[in-house]
Amino acid sequence: MKHLLLLLLMCTALPSFADDVAAGRSKADVACSLCHGHNGMASLPNAPNLAGQQSIYVSEQLRNYRSGKRQNEVMNMIAKQLTDSEIAQLAAWFSAVKVTVEAP
């Protein structure tokens, strides 16, 4: 019983995934949408689509840009300004976007 109570307290103290998705969407509208589109579908030919990407992939790549391990002039500048929390929120948002494919 004590373990269950501890687990419940820990879960209520953590921000919810829905909160991360909402915050990530707001951040993406400001920092990402010009190149990657409002829903993560790229608006520029050389920008990748981020919609539907795994959150672990988005997080890792943003951390790599922030540290300089991965190089891109624009992304290095943008990622340097992101906190770990903002990276998690952006990853939550882009992974939450559902992508569908239709056969021609």
Surface-to-core class of residue 40, CB atoms within 10 Å of its CB (0-12 exposed, 13-18 middle, 19+ buried): buried
CA–CA dist 28, 40 (Å, integer)? 8
CATH label of the domain that carries residue 54: 1.10.760.10
Indicate whether 15 pLDDT > 90. no
* Residue 82: inside a domain: yes
**pLDDT score for 96:** 97
* Residue 11: inside a domain: no
* Residue 13: inside a domain: no
* Residue 33: inside a domain: yes
* Residue 4: inside a domain: no
Residue 67 · residue 78 · CB < 8 Å? no
* Residue 10: inside a domain: no
Q: What is the pLDDT of residues 32-87, one digit of tens each?
A: 999 999 999 998 999 999 999 999 999 999 999 999 999 999 999 999 999 999 99
* Residue 35: inside a domain: yes
Nearest Cα neighbor of 32 from 73, 24, 84, 19 is: 24
Enclosing domain of residue 36: 18-42+49-96
Dmax (CA) for the chain in angstroms is: 56
* Token pair 């909160």: residue: 19
Total domains, the chain? 1
Residue 41 · residue 51 · CB < 8 Å? yes
